[in-house]
Amino acid sequence: MRGESQMTDMTANSENTKTQAKSIFSGSLPGQERFVAPLEETPLRDVDSIDEEAPATSMWSDAWKTLRKNPIFIISAILVIFILLVALFPSLFTKQDPVVCNLENSLESGNASHPFGFDLQGCDVYSRVVYGARTSVSIGIATTIMVTLLGGFIGAIAGFFGGWLDAILSRVTDIFFAIPMLLGAIVLLQMFRTSTSIWKIVFTLTLFGWVSMARITRSAVMEAKNLEFNTASTALGSSPIRNLFRHIVPNSLAPVIVMATMSLGSYIVSEATLSFLGIGLPTSVVSWGGDISTAQNLLRTNPSVLFYPSAALAITVLAFIMLGDAVKDALDPKTRTA
């Protein structure tokens, strides 16, 4: 009898708890009732508490805190800053003119004044490596900026408006995506070989390289446009265009920045490949790809002539790839630890 009485009391208490919880959502439709535990049964714990006096943080500030503690970011940032200094101010690192050559110095070994020695034409290898950074890095940065602007704009428009506009832009994107960037650049540059300049290389790489950026931007915009801030902005009377460029695009920049950082190295490699094949920059322009192409026949006899521009190209590309990986890890909330 005593056990039955205890069971009856427990059942009654359970029913009272459900009734109290149900009363909170009494306005729900039949079949949509939700039951929650009373507040006194779920007290606030220390792990759930927040510091109300702490300053507000954003995704960018949290990412910067993560990057400052990442040794890969520190190393890659130092390398990138050094490479940019060499590209912007090459005269600070060498006093030799890279286009002044003397056949009497052909393939001579290095010394104090010329640490990397001379190439087959008697040009100073060290000065050509230093000045070649300006050409390769400038093409990589210019191509990245144009690809980000073009691909970001097309992807943002397609992802935000959707419908027939998204269908048309997506099909155009698929067409360009089916063409390999390097193969398309080779064919296009072969058609216009009368005059080759840095900007022609930039425009060619942009024409075949904006597709990936457009896809990344489209996905980010489609995710951001369904968030609450866009609904609230629309309810306050903001126009769709204003919402797109004022609210949605700034909140979609994280994957775009990661993609741009990691793609910069590939554009530098593409320029070097085109110059190596002889359809990129003319021989009068100092570039790492041109020097690698010139020195390929000396690989067995004088490998150092080929090694230095190749090493500079590899270190530069590696630095930008490492920087992109570090930024990706910092901006991805799934990789953060408390």
Q: What is the pLDDT along the chain (338 residues), one digit of tens a residue?
A: 444 444 444 444 545 544 444 444 444 555 555 566 666 666 666 555 566 666 666 677 777 888 888 899 999 999 999 999 999 999 899 888 888 888 888 888 878 888 888 888 888 899 999 999 998 899 999 999 999 999 999 999 998 888 899 899 999 999 988 888 888 888 888 887 766 678 888 999 999 999 999 999 999 898 888 878 777 877 787 787 888 888 888 888 888 988 898 888 889 988 888 888 888 787 778 888 888 888 888 878 888 888 999 999 999 999 998 998 888 888 776 655 44
| The CA-based dihedral angle spanning residues 260, 89, 185, 298, taken in that order and rounded to the nearest 10 degrees | -120
78 is a domain residue: yes
Asked if residue 317 belongs to a domain, the reply is yes
Structural domain includes residue 106: yes
pLDDT, residue 226, reads 81
The first and second tokens of residue 212, run together, are 């990936």
Closest CA to 100 of 284, 276, 288, 278: 284
**253 within some domain:** yes
Instruction: Return the CATH number at 221.
Output: 1.10.3720.10
Beta bridge partners of 118: 124
Structural domain span for residue 199: 63-335
**Residue 1, in any domain of the structure:** no
Place of tokens 């554009």: 267
Q: Is residue 108 part of a domain?
A: yes
Look at the chain and report how many structural domains it folds into. 1
The packing angle between helices 253-276 and 198-224, to 10°, is 160
Please report whether residue 193 resides in a domain.
Answer: yes
Query: What confidence score (pLDDT) does residue 315 get?
Result: 93
Domain-embedded: residue 306: yes
Please identify which residue in the block is written with the tokens 């050509």. 128
Q: Give the span between the Cα atoms of 71 and 174, in whole angstroms.
A: 38
Tokens at 219, concatenated: 């996905």
* Residue 318 CA to its chain's centroid (Å): 14
Contacts 24+ apart (CB under 8 A), 15-21: none
Whole-angstrom distance, CA of residue 66 vs CA of residue 287: 36
Report the alpha-carbon distance of residue 102 to residue 105 in Å, rounded. Answer: 6
pLDDT for the residue numbered 45: 63
Q: For the chain, how big is the Rg over CA atoms in Å?
A: 30
